[in-house]
Amino acid sequence: MDNLIGENIKQARLRAGYTQEKLAEKIDVSLSVISRLETGRTMVSVAKMQRIAKVLNTPVGTFFER
């Protein structure tokens, strides 16, 4: 299964210098949610994607780029 969005979220998180734990704290979800999003085990909602993009200071569209 292609995990483009999860991988792009992970890369944006790393560029921003955040751990999974810190990102989870910033968007008020559990660490396991971030882990599952990045590995493609769960889908990310539009609302969560927008919160993640805001915290990581990156456009939402970045998550869809190859």
| Confidence band, pLDDT 50/70/90 cuts, at residue 1 | very low
- From the CB of residue 5, how many other CB atoms can be counted at a distance below 10 Å? 18
Report the percentage of the chain scoring pLDDT > 90. Answer: 91
Predicted TM-score of the model (pTM): 0.91
Give pLDDT tens digits for 12-44.
Answer: 999 999 999 999 999 999 999 999 999 999 998
Q: Distance between CA 66 and CA 50 in Å, rounded?
A: 19
pLDDT at 54: 98
